[in-house]
Amino acid sequence: MAGGREIVKKIGSVQNTQKVTSAMQMVAASKMRRTQDRMEEARPYARRIRNVIGHLANASAEYRHRYMVSRDVKNIGYIVISTDKGQCGGLNSNMFRTLIQDIRAWERKDVPASLALVGNKAAGFFRSVGGNVVAAINNVGENPEVESLIGGIRRMLDLFEEESIDRLDLVSNQFVNSMTHRPQIEQLLPLDPDPEDSYKHMWDYLYEPDAEELIEGLVQRFLESQVYEAVVENTACEQAARMIAMKNATDNAEEMIEELTLLYNNARQASITQEIAEIVGGAAALE
Amino acid sequence: MAATMRCEIVSAENEIFSGEVTMVIATGTLGELGIMPGHTPLLTGLKPGPVRLQMEDGEEDVFFASGGFLEVQPNVVTILADTAEHADTIDDMAAAEAIEAAERAMSEAAADMDYSRATAMLADATARQRTIEELKKRRR
């Protein structure tokens, strides 16, 4: 039987762990507010520019920009958004699972994948799993900035232009609400026509000054805003997931403490009973 | 009643304006643009400068956009600004100071400060001042 002192020690250590997890829960909860605000702020721009790009892809332009032309997919590129830190439940691993399934599906069609990774966790994951990583952005931090993402985006755009990849997807977590986060894979390039667009007849924009230059600038801005939005959204997911994970850990620690206390009381009771029995036994032997 | 169209101004940071207007006046890369309802679809870059919106009741509202894109769809004008602000929030003094700083940077355009960045700074600052003047004219 485990001695009473060992159990007391164990209770103490579980209590310490519980203090840490409950502090982390509270920190995550307060950060979640802020990251959610950022996400809300990034949304209008990202949504509008997606609309404009949708219109653009639908326009029956004389000039088809190479970003709009669908080629046979021989190589696929992914921009993967992950978190920098762990302790956020299955957030990253769920997304990686979805991604790996998608990569496998393409591989069965003999389409190899190239990856641009954002966040330390993705880098760590693909270091152990293996994969063709062409760009990595680490330490995005809690206040991601567009500037820090441009390098990776530029790299994927270059690959698309030199036809080393024929399709570019964005993989990230979607913030449904603070309890639910859904991994999603979204096509960035070639530009996807907006299916809900009501202007389906023949029309085209007037371009000022020049279609090519304009579309190039717009697409660059589009990718930046989509990736930025995904990163900001992922950060909100991260904090929410961490809050939930840490709440679970705190609850589990509580349960464990209760069990250990019960065990300790039993052990204490047992040792008292045994002592009494020994005294009684000794007294009986003297008579 | 005058015909209206929707106008939406968003910047990377947030949504600046959304509502019905009768006319949008902005500075495109090729020059001033006046857009009224029923304009043909148009896509253009924006230069730093004021964006003026004429409301249904004849009022005018002035915003500042430091570059970006403008899209015209039948009945919707979308302005994707790099940074946009309501003209009221631009500080007169700050704009004048920025111009001075930019001009100084250009005259001192030695090896350490690159010239194109200084010109961009100057363009941005003068555009801000132009917006303020526009606003002042209206107040008078």
Q: Per-residue pLDDT tens for A204-245?
A: 777 777 778 888 888 888 888 899 999 999 999 999 999 999
% pLDDT > 70, chain A: 94
Give pLDDT, residue A201. Answer: 57
* pLDDT at residue B84 greater than cutoff 70: yes
Surface of A (158-197) touching B: CB under 8 A: none
Q: How confident is the model at residue B4 (pLDDT cuts 50, 70, 90)?
A: confident
Contact assignment for B78 to A44 by CB distance below 8 Å: no
Phi, psi of B3 (to 5 degrees): -70, 145
The Cα angle at residue A122 between residues A242 and A250, in degrees rounded to 5:
20
| Residues in B touching A203 (Cβ below 8 Å) | 41
SS3 assignment, position A170:
strand
Which three-class secondary structure string do you get for chain B? CCCCEEEEEEECCCEEEEEEECEEEEEECCEEEEECCCCCCEEEEECCEEEEEECCCCCEEEEEECCEEEEEECCEEEEEECCEEEHHHCCHHHHHHHHHHHHHHHHCCCCCCCHHHHHHHHHHHHHHHHHHHHHHHHHC
Lowest mean pLDDT among A100-109, A203-212, A261-270: A203-212
Record the tokens describing residue A201, joined without a space.
């007849």
Pairwise CA distance, residues B127 & A67, whole Å: 33
With 0-12 / 13-18 / 19 or more C-beta atoms within 10 angstroms meaning exposed / middle / buried, residue A171 is buried
pLDDT of A258 over the 90 cut: yes
* pLDDT tens column, B6-61: 999 988 777 888 889 999 999 888 888 899 888 888 888 888 888 888 888 888 88
Distance CA B126, CA B74 (A): 32
| Dihedral angle of Cα A68, A74, A75, A78, to the nearest 10 degrees | 50
A104-121 residues labelled b (16+ CB within 10 A) or e (exposed): eebeeeebebbbbbbbbb
Average pLDDT over residues B81-93: 73
Q: Count CB neighbours of B63 within 10 A.
A: 24
Q: What pLDDT score does B73 carry?
A: 86
pLDDT, residue A195, reads: 60
Confidence of residue A47 (pLDDT cuts 50, 70, 90): confident
pLDDT tier for residue B63 given thresholds of 50, 70 and 90: confident
- Whether residue B8 and residue A48 make contact (CB cut-off 8 A), yes or no, is yes
Query: Residue A156 corresponds to which amino acid?
Result: M
Q: Which residues, numbered 198 to 237 in chain A, qualify as contacts with chain B under a Cβ-Cβ cut-off of 8 Å? A: 199, 203-209, 214, 217-218, 221, 225, 228
What is the residue whose two structure tokens read 């966040």?
A: A119
Whether residue A52 and residue B74 make contact (CB cut-off 8 A), yes or no, is: no
Residue B110 main-chain phi, psi, to 5 deg: -85, -165
Percentage of chain A exceeding pLDDT 90: 46
Average pLDDT over residues A174-181: 89
Under DSSP, the state recorded for A150 is H
CB atoms A209 and B78 under 8 Å: no
Among the listed ranges A4-8, A30-34, A165-169, B114-118, which one has the minimum average pLDDT value? Answer: B114-118
pLDDT at A5: 86
Question: What pLDDT is attached to residue A2?
Answer: 56
Instruction: Convert the pLDDT of each residue in A54-94 to its tens digit.
Output: 888 777 666 677 788 888 889 999 999 999 988 888 899 99
> A114-153 pLDDT, tens per residue?
999 999 999 999 988 888 888 888 888 778 888 788 888 8
Q: Which of A103-112, A198-207, A228-237 has the lowest mean pLDDT?
A: A198-207
Report field, pTM of the whole predicted structure over 0.90: no
Residue A21: partners with Cβ closer than 8 Å, 6 or more residues away: A246, A249, A250, A253
Q: What is the pLDDT of residue A10?
A: 92
Tokens 């698309």 -> residue: A160
Residue B130 has which token pair?
A: 């132009």
What does the pLDDT look like over A266-275, one tens digit per residue?
999 999 999 9
Answer yes or no: do B42 and A208 touch at CB < 8 A: yes
pLDDT of A277: 94
Res A231: pLDDT: 92
Which has more pLDDT, A181 or A212?
A181
Asked if pLDDT for residue A198 goes beyond 80, the answer is no
| pLDDT at residue A97, as a whole number | 93
Best residue in B8, B16, B73, B79 for a mutation probing chain A (most A CBs within 10 Å): B73
DSSP 8-state code for residue A67: T
pLDDT of residue A248: 94
